[in-house]
Amino acid sequence: QPQFVESGGGLVQPGGSLRLSCAASGFALDAYHIGWFRRTPGKEYEGVSCINRRGDHTNYPASVKGRFTISRDNAKSTVFLHMTSLKPEDTAVYFCAATGSSSLYCDLADFDGWGFWGQGTLVTVSS
């Protein structure tokens, strides 16, 4: 069964850094675009990054651009999210997901197209 397992979350002070990992199993990671999303209580999912299946295109919203970097290692079936200059508003549960879209590029706006959701990993940014 296709699934992701996210890890690497924790408590970090404002301005700090974390690297999240997302291990895939049950499917061929290199056939999918991969995205990271986050959710806080009472809010909708927010896409924070995606990377296309070839790894040569990434996409970020303005809220995290320049601070977050997504990368993938298809050989290890793992996707990473390196987060720097963290802010209290980055506090959320972070999830990874996949889409088999035929486009060459990943699209965070097409939320319904994403699947294989993991359980998430909690990131708390607080002093």
Whether pLDDT at 87 is above 90? yes
Residue-wise pLDDT for 4-27, tens only, equals 999 999 999 999 999 999 999 999
Residue-wise pLDDT for 28-60, tens only, equals 999 999 999 999 988 889 999 999 999 999 999
Residue-wise pLDDT for 89-125, tens only, equals 999 999 999 998 888 899 998 888 898 998 999 999 9
What is the maximal distance between C-alpha atoms in the chain?
43
DSSP 8-state class, residue 103: S
Q: How confident is the model at residue 85 (pLDDT cuts 50, 70, 90)?
A: very high
Euclidean distance between the first and final Cα of the chain, in Å?
Answer: 39
